[in-house]
Amino acid sequence: MQDPPQRPLLSRRPSAPLAGSICVPGDKSISHRALMFGALAVGETAISGLLEGEDVLRTAAAMRALGAEVVQDGPGAWRVAGRGVGGLVEPADVLDMGNSGTAARLLCGILASLPIFAVMTGDASLRRRPMRRVTEPLAMCGARFAGREGGRLPLAIEGAGEALPLEYRVPVPSAQVKSALLLCGLNAPGITRIEEPEATRDHSENMLRHFGAVVRVEAAGAGRVIELDGQPELRAADVVVPGDPSSAAFPLAAALLVPGSRLRIAGVGLNPLRTGLFATLREMGAVLAVENARTEGGEPVGDIVVEYVALRGIEVPAERAPSMIDEYPILAVVAACAVGTTRMRGLKELRVKESDRLSATAAMLAGNGVRVTIEGDDLIVEGGGIPGGGRVATHMDHRLAMSALVMGLASRDGVGVDDASFIDTSFPGFVGLINDAIGNGGAPALVAG
């Protein structure tokens, strides 16, 4: 499989503030799940607002390969005719999940409890990422997995003929692991019981209920216990996908860092297990107003209004990490431009993302003149300077690339990235959106370079 050619970009201080109203792409986590649950339901599910980035399109292709009918009717508008729980069929070819760890890990859960054989691969970045944290507990249902050293892709999966329900305590907070186990439990008789030490994003639980499954959730200290009744008949249910809060983080941060900016980001998902960054930015001094609050498809949604303000460094507690695990690179950029020191605690999970995001984030800052250190699993950023002047190695990591480009908007000498091609996996149109948000007809700030 050939990976896409590199696309270097340069980001520089804009000639005018960011202004107006924008929309960010649909929530990636919910988009993946909408396609998967639609394929596992009986009947036809209509999805609006689906993220059409490469990651989600890989999930759509995988669901087709497994026998579901997946049709695009228009921008963001899709239909899925499902085959029911246990009704998916053996794929005729290798399932290529591209750069998407979420799609790969959740799909392992679906395949583990089906009596079929499948092989899964991905791009160079995904082939480096660990899968054993998912495959080891899934094997307890009776499935068998064979992969490269460390359980990495390519991965051969032989699903269980008669899957057993799972009972498992997730050792490290991970919504992907939890969701994979719940998806496996759908096709197993009895009750699947998952305990997580800290509450992680609950889109899977919300969507399971939306499609008719019986899910019980109880608090257990700082964490939760989730029980799923196996072998339900999921019923088709339309899904409205809200704007992705992880994607909204980038234009939001840009507005906080470019003097004079005032930006409205419409229709953003506000699930409380996804909004740790918003809470953190408020503690740093940001004023984030939520307007037009509403509920869509079981998820809270609202418009976020943000404007430039001077920020201060803070200490971010480790227990907040599950609610903002994808946002630490962009938070580190904001911290570099704040006054004082910001310490982000408990970032072990960042080491197993698209890249070792902890080390890569530190390198991104250091290469642009920011004083930064790693102590154990903590990231410590010394703010107060004006970063810039460096070129960032993105390691095929879309969030690292976008974070570096936002940093360039607050820089004196600009920031370059070696490759921005992977941004489209989660945020198609990112470059155009940022350039279009520069008010008064200002010149583009993100340009080829």
* Burial track 340-349 (b if 16+ CB lie within 10 A, e otherwise): ebbbbbbbeb
Say if domain 9-26+242-448 classifies as CATH 3.40.980.10. no
Provide, rounded to the nearest whole percent, the portion of the chain with pLDDT above 70: 98
Q: How far apart are CA 331 and CA 403, in angstroms?
A: 9
Task: Sketch the domain layout of the chain as residue ranges.
Answer: 9-26+242-448, 28-166+173-190+204-211
CB 445 within 8 A of CB 432: no
Q: How far apart are CA 341 and CA 238, in angstroms?
A: 46
Find the mean pLDDT for residues 367-394.
96
Q: What is the pTM of this model?
A: 0.87
**Same topology between domain 9-26+242-448 and domain 28-166+173-190+204-211:** yes
3-state DSSP assignment of residue 171:
coil
Q: pLDDT tens digits, residue range 235-284? A: 999 999 999 999 999 999 999 999 999 999 999 999 999 999 999 999 99
pLDDT band at 135 (very low <50, low <70, confident <90, very high): very high
Specify the CATH superfamily of domain 28-166+173-190+204-211: Enolpyruvate transferase domain (3.65.10.10)
Q: How far apart are CA 381 and CA 333, in angstroms?
A: 9
The residue among 110, 101, 104 whose CA lies nearest residue 83 is: 110
> Which is the catalytic residue, given 27, 326, 397, 419?
326
Flag whether pLDDT at 1 surpasses 80.
no
Predicted confidence at residue 424, as pLDDT, reads 87
CB 321 within 8 A of CB 346: yes
Q: Crossing angle, helix 328-337 and helix 276-283, to 10 degrees?
A: 10
Q: How far apart are CA 301 and CA 314, in angstroms?
A: 27
Q: pLDDT tens digits, residue range 39-84? A: 999 999 999 999 999 999 999 999 999 999 999 999 999 999 999 9
Amino acid at 392: V
Q: Give the DSSP letter string of 186-234.
A: TTSSSEEEEEESS----HHHHHHHHTT--EEEEEETTEEEEEEESS---
Q: Is 202 a known active-site residue? A: no
